[in-house]
Structures are given as structure tokens and as C-alpha cells.
Amino acid sequence: AQSVTQLGSHVSVSEGALVLLRCNYSSSVPPYLFWYVQYPNQGLQLLLKYTSAATLVKGINGFEAEFKKSETSFHLTKPSAHMSDAAEYFCAVSASNFNKFYFGSGTKLNVKP
């Protein structure tokens, strides 16, 4: 079975500050891990993904995430927040057959000027 836990339903940072969104997963098989972003009134779009290659994954808009098997974590970071980063972020896990993706409950990121 697979599941995802996102700590913090709301995170608020100042513009220019570090963004850290936490994701922990549970998987009985080697996982594939994803971060999706949902901007207001838009559909979800892929931010980045881990598919067993490099453990540090770079995505769009300056975001990156590191797969840490020992911690079962896949936290999302960005060195410097921008106002345009305000959105809801979802972590997801899937097995290799991609039959089902399990999503976390989401973290809403607020960026203060």
C-alpha cells in the first residue's frame, strides 16, 4: 500500500525567503514521487518527479526536491520565494505501473510581500 503525508496545510513565507514544503511517503515498493502545483482557478500541473534516477530532482520555476529513502521523505524547496509561487502544492506517490497515484492533502503556500 502507498500513502503520502504532507505536514502543514498552510505555509506562509516572505518574498525572498526559503520555501520548504514537507512530504513523507509510505510505500511497499520502490516509489515514484511527484510534486504537482495548482494555481488559483487552474488545473494541477507537474512541478517535478523522482523516478529512481538522481535523488536530487530539479523542476520548473526554481523548485527542487530530494528523495531520502532513509527518511521516506521528498521535501520540496526553493531558495527564494516569489509572489507568483503562491499556490497549492500536492505531493504524490505511485508504483511503477502508474495505475494509481496517491496524493497528499495539499499545502497552500502564501507569499507575503
Partner 1 sequence: GAGVSQSPSNKVTEKGKDVELRCDPISGHTALYWYRQSLGQGLEFLIYFQGNSAPDKSGLPSDRFSAERTGGSVSTLTIQRTQQEDSAVYLCASSPGTGFVTGELFFGEGSRLTVL
Residue position matching grid coordinates 531558495: 79
Nearer to partner 1, 28 or 41 (CB): 41
Q: Return the DSSP state at 89.
A: E
Q: Is 31 in the site for partner 1 (CB under 8 A)?
A: no
Spatial distance between the Cα atoms of 51 and 109, rounded to a whole number of angstroms: 25
Residues 6 or more apart whose CB falls under 8 angstroms from that of 102 comprise 2, 3, 4, 92, 93, 94
28 binds partner 1 (CB under 8 A): no
Cβ-contact 52, 39 below 8 angstroms: no
The stretch near partner 1 (CB under 8 A) out of 16-24, 46-54, 63-71, 79-87 is: 46-54
Rounded least distance, CB 14 to partner 1, Å: 25
Give the footprint of partner 1 on this chain (CB under 8 A): 4, 6, 9, 32, 34, 36, 41-46, 49, 51, 90, 92, 94, 96-106
